[in-house]
Chain A
Amino acid sequence: MIPQSWIDAYLKFLLKYSGLTTVVVALITGYFMLALGDLRLHTEFFDFYPKFRTSYDAYQNCREETDKGALSCLGGAIFNPGPDPYIQIYNDFREMFGSANTMAIILEVNEGDIYNPETLQEVDRITKHIIKAKGVVPYQIASIAHPKVRSLTTRAGALQIRELYYPGVPKTQEDAERVRFGVYSTKGVRGLYTSMDDTAAVVHAGFWEEELDFNSLYAHINELKESVEKNPNHTLYITGFPWLYTSVLRYTPQVLMVFVATTVALSFLLFVYFRTWTGVWVPIFSGLLSSIWGLGIAVLLGFNLDPLVLVIPVFLTARALSHSVQSMDRYHEEFYKSHDKEKAIIDSYGHLFPPAIASIITDGIGLLVVAVAPIPLIQKVAIFASFWVVSIFISVVTLHPIILKVIDPPSEEHEIKVGPIPMSRGAMYVGLNFLIVAVLAAINVTYPAPDVMGGVGSFRGGFFLLWCLPGICWFWFYYAEKIYAAITWVVIQGSEGWRRWAMVILTVVLLVGSAWMARQLKVGDMSPGMALLFPDHPYNVGWEKLNNKFLGASQLIVIADTKRPDGIKDSKPLQAIEEFSNYMLGAEGASESITIIDIVKRLARLYHDGDPRWGLIPDNPKEIGQLFYVFTNSSAPGDLNRFMDTSGRYATVLTLFRGYSHKIITEAIDYGKEFAKHNQTGDVEFKFAGGLFGILAAVNDAVESSYWTNIFMIWFIVYICLYLTYGTFLCCAILMIPVIMSQLVAEALMVMMKIDLNVNSLPIAAAGAGVGVDYGIYHFSRMIDSYDEIGELDEAVDHATATTGKAIIFTATTMIAGTIFWWFSALKFQAEMGFLLALLMAFNTFGGLVVVPSWVKVVRPTFFTKRVPQRLGQHLPNRA
């Protein structure tokens, strides 16, 4: 608990040196503003890849593979967990076998099949177009038109390694039929580069994470799509990670729209609440100042901002605003009592400092804790969001007293009077508004939303709700006071008499019920595209095509390491690879497994007049060596790159999957590891896991294990902060009830709404957990004040609710208004997250206003009953 004397000293210092403080803050703000010019709003793929393995994983690994004791392993796991094994494999082999960051461009014919000259020519054109994309891995472009994808045939005793389009891009139907034969007769082509029903072909392209330029890629691909679809028989679908984030970035302008809408809505709410312009511009100013500081620090620390997590900054701005409202409200209250500006400032801020600082510190540390997740993206969010929240100490706690000292005090005359309007007329206006909307809906008039998306999609649904806004605003403007009063009355009733018991029981039911539901919350339960974009988004449509028409959209790459150069060119390792590849087909969701074995077998056949019975891995290494020699002599360099590295030490086992949930991914990897465990012959070591599956497994594992660590750490820190503020175990435990309840309810809602817990939603869910306790804090502080004044618990609690209730409900309204506009976002992720945060805030408010009083009244903590009523800060001027 901060000594009251410090608070007084700080306030006096601020009032005395207000000029100096303002200049210092202005200078720092200016510095941050200059930095804002370099703000980068984009996704970096490396930000997703976990830097370290999770401590749990490291501990398990240490216990299983070393002789170290439990304690020594625990220490190592926490302080030096080592790199994430999958990401390490990925990084080690990225140069060799290419990026997991692949894009798929699917050309579908609307009638007939792809084996006609026009379509095959188009596949060739698309392939060539992609080669020119920025950041593409030149050797990781593959399609039936690409010379690297070859058909290998043994004809009349001769080996033929030819591009599928040999002798050139098909010009006649006969040429096209030849391509068809090549596709069908070469393993690892049909299903991979052409659809199983022959109606689509796909061009795969890998991209270097660090060189990808989303904007140029967007332009490059759109140009392609436009030209391809001039042929009415052709439709182009694009999917894959690079395109996912290209699509997401398209929605960035919406962030600005949401920001503007939120600001307008907040200003309106503020005006209706305070009925003074001061009441509007001071909180908005605080919010903006914190934004500048928060974004500024992100830029200065060299962080890029992922457009997906922008929900958090807007949320935090609303957070700053709500602190501002709390203090403004108290100031207004004190001022109307004493009509003495300075006294009102010291009185109100003297009382508000402890809860304000407690909640700022709690929020700040709570957000910082999120950084334990070993994923850079989450760490970056945690650091700048934490700083953002802490900056509220400057923008509100420090600057407000100065601002209030300088500006005119609110006078009764300045308050804009609202004449009473009969309820019936209000209802009529609103009804009229709804009627217009209904008529518009009936004649199917869409809301004229500005097309900021460049055709990708515009402000989604809910337009009619926007049409209703005038009616709602009008109603709110005239009846806000009554609504607040009604809610406060309801809230107080909620903890009166027997209802407090009902509330306590309800809390327990909610806790147990939502905890039960929340257990079903799974990490990475849906494809990355489905988690971020609506199902009808072209990206997801493309993903479905790739998944259903082809052998699967996801790849698991396992590296076979023979530990010596040319080790692959031996029978035992090849047999092990063949067996493993065959075994992997048994994994759930696996549709095909592709290795170098097929080429080896074809070559072996060639050696024996083409008889399939010789299509086996030869017994002796010499013969295998000869096969490879023959192959390299009759093929182009790099033809084997898909299957093995140039040194001949490593080979890949690529398994295609139709599924993509975290369960399928981890089960597939575990399934593969089981084989490796029981087949340790020493010939080859299987390294897990590359490809999209390896990355997703690493990311999801990190998210899964750090989520609960995060939540528990946040709860722990919130509790510690509460305890340091109030010094009572029991009351702090009561204050924790709404925090825990809201979190569990939010998780239960995530399960019900099928919102995925993933690398993007983790920081947001955690941020919500960290900032929810504020309402409880403000309310509880007021209860203490009231108890000191009144001396009777029930009455004191009601008095606290009656006085703070309005402000808390109002701040909750602002928090909800600060998040709910995301609901209209055409980006599914933002829409869901905004909605989730809004619900989380609503539940936190309910918890702080209803649950906490009920529990306090029921439990009757000795903190109150044994309390010697003391006047807070006796050295302060006496309260009226």
Chain B
Amino acid sequence: MTQRTVWLIAALFSFGLAGVVEAQPVSHTNIRQNLFSTCTGPDGQRWVVGELGRIFNTKDNGQTVVRTSANSREAFLDIACPPSGSLFVTGQHGKIWRSRDDGASWEPVKSGTERTLLAIAFSDENTGMAIGDYGTIVRTEDGGDTWNTVPLPTDIPLPEDIAEIIEPGDVLLYGIDFISETQGWIVGEFGVILTTNDAGATWVAQQSPVETTLFGVSFADAQRGWAVGIEEVLLQTEDGGATWKEQRVPKRKGFVLGIYNVAVKGNFGWAVGDSGFLLRSTNGGRSWERMQLPIELAANWLRGIELSADGQQGLIVGGSGIMMSTTGDQYRKLGK
């Protein structure tokens, strides 16, 4: 072993050690990667993931951000914070990473699929689902040790012209949300909305008023929920998804933008999308107003959103490392 190698190992060792002992906060200006998702752990910490293996956590809703490493440079598309305190991240190639020590170390777990997993959610400590490309749903009941594929229902209603070329089982699934230990929803291409009453073991299709792609779904309680999608589609249900209807979205001159995510808690609701698209509700999602964002935000997309149980504290993440915090009905870009 050459002297150089010894030094290198020593350097790596001490670097690794430093990482365990104390992680240094990252300045917002140094976060430039696209950020895709955020979640809140049982201890109230918020986690943010993005491309090039970026994982950040924050204890003060984004004021100070610390980076942790999963020793991967792959794109981390979604993160789930189940009540167990474990953390799960999904990515391309059917990859799922798990951490059981508050993000200090990460292990890849076998998902049984090679498909890109776009979203992940847990209904309780041990039961969770990751969804994605080609109608993929993989489900775990043992806290992520083993994952099994869940088939899609074969009776998903598809638009006529599409039904001829695409199998219902191949529908691309984008968004998932659980409101209780048993009840949850999935949205995807062609306006598809699925629901479960058995913690994701089986899924049934719900009647959707649109045939266009839905990216996100979120429920405030068992009855009231919202789904969002391209062309400024915002759907609302007040009967647990038995009926969905389009909600009015204030229009703006120019392009019709995609809405990527939505969240409503307490009186406050936020919906985010392409090119700085931001909707705010202060009446529990009954009506929405459109925010005018400054150009540096407006030129980027916003993708991930997480609200506290009362809706008072929120975190929004997006392209080029954007993080925004919400307090009540106010929003603020973090960093300079």
Contact = CB atoms under 8 A, between A and B. Distances in A.
A184 B275 CA distance: 10
B92 A609 contact: no
Given A156-B231, A615-B34, A184 B295 contact: yes
Most buried by B among A575, A578, A582, A585: A582
A611 B228 CA distance: 12
Given A155-B255, A156-B230, A611 B260 contact: yes
Contact of A157 (B32, B36, B230, B298): B230
Nearest to B36: A613
B82 to A, nearest CB: 20
Contacts of A579: 52, 73
Contact of B230 (A184, A609, A613): A609
Interface stretch (B15-23, B97-105, B263-271, B299-307): B299-307
A610 B172 CA distance: 13
Contact of B300 (A180, A185, A611, A613): A185
B258 A619 contact: no
Interface string B47-63: 00001100000000000
Given A156-B231, A616-B51, A610 B274 contact: yes
Interface in A175-234: 180-181, 183-185, 187
Given A578-B52, A613-B77, A156 B296 contact: no
A582 B318 CA distance: 18
Interface in B255-311: 255-258, 260, 274-275, 295-296, 298-301, 303
A578 B118 CA distance: 21
A612 B189 CA distance: 15
Nearest to A198: B295
B295 A613 contact: no
A157 B118 CA distance: 19
A155 B256 CA distance: 8
B174 interface: yes
Interface residues of A, number: 24
Nearest to B73: A579
Given A610-B274, A612-B319, A184 B52 contact: no
A633 B189 CA distance: 26
Contacts of A615: 34, 51
A608 interface: yes
B73 A616 contact: no
Interface in B184-232: 189, 213, 215, 230-231
Given A156-B230, A611-B258, A612-B319, A181 B32 contact: no
Contacts of B32: 585
A619 B319 CA distance: 21
Nearest to A185: B299
Contact of B275 (A180, A185, A585, A619): A185
A612 B52 contact: no
A157 B274 CA distance: 12
A156 B213 CA distance: 11
B234 interface: no
Contacts of A157: 230
B258 A609 contact: yes
A181 B174 CA distance: 28
Contacts of B174: 611, 613
B80 interface: no
Contacts of B258: 609-611
A115 to B, nearest CB: 9
Given A181-B295, A579-B52, A619-B93, A613 B303 contact: yes
Interface in A145-184: 155-157, 180-181, 183-184
A614 B78 CA distance: 12
Interface in A568-597: 575, 578-579, 582, 585
Interface in A599-621: 608-616, 619
B295 A608 contact: no
Nearest to A610: B258
A585 B26 CA distance: 15
Contact of A181 (B118, B230, B299): B299
Contacts of A611: 118, 174, 213, 215, 258, 260
Given A609-B230, A616-B75, A184 B36 contact: no
B92 A184 contact: no
Contacts of A578: 52
A505 to B, nearest CB: 43
Nearest to A174: B253
Contacts of B255: 155-156
Contacts of A613: 36, 77-78, 118, 174, 303
Nearest to A579: B73
Nearest to B93: A619
A184 B319 contact: no
A609 B188 CA distance: 11
Interface string B99-131: 000000000000000001010000000000000
Given A611-B174, A611-B215, A184 B299 contact: yes
A227 to B, nearest CB: 30
B295 A180 contact: yes
A616 B215 CA distance: 17
B27 to A, nearest CB: 13
Most buried by B among A184, A185, A612, A616: A612
Nearest to B255: A155
Most buried by A among B75, B298, B319, B320: B75
B111 to A, nearest CB: 15
A578 B255 CA distance: 30
A156 B307 CA distance: 28
Nearest to A186: B299
A830 B78 CA distance: 62
A515 B320 CA distance: 50
A608 B172 contact: yes
Contact of A612 (B73, B172, B260): B260
Most buried by B among A575, A579, A610: A610
A184 B296 contact: yes
A582 B52 contact: yes
Interface in A616-644: 616, 619
Contacts of A609: 189, 213, 215, 230, 258
Nearest to B115: A619
B92 A619 contact: yes
Contacts of B51: 615-616
A578 B52 CA distance: 9
B256 A156 contact: yes
Nearest to A177: B295
Contacts of B78: 613
A575 B91 CA distance: 15
A582 B319 CA distance: 15
Nearest to B299: A184
A157 B174 CA distance: 16
Interface string B25-54: 000000011101000000000000001100
Given A156-B256, A611-B260, A616 B296 contact: no
A448 B296 CA distance: 52
B77 A184 contact: no
A765 B13 CA distance: 47
Nearest to B215: A611
Contacts of A585: 32
Interface of B: 32-34, 36, 51-52, 73, 75, 77-78, 92-93, 116, 118, 172, 174, 189, 213, 215, 230-231, 255-258, 260, 274-275, 295-296, 298-301, 303, 318-320
* A-B interface, 3 closest residue pairs, ranked by CB to CB distance from nearest: A184-B299, A185-B299, A609-B213
19 contacts: A155-B257, A156-B231, A181-B275, A181-B298, A181-B299, A184-B298, A184-B300, A579-B52, A582-B52, A582-B73, A609-B258, A610-B230, A611-B213, A612-B34, A612-B274, A612-B318, A616-B92, A616-B116, A619-B92
Given A181-B299, A612-B303, 16 more contacts: A156-B231, A181-B298, A185-B300, A579-B52, A608-B172, A609-B213, A609-B258, A610-B230, A611-B174, A611-B213, A611-B258, A612-B34, A612-B260, A612-B274, A613-B77, A619-B93
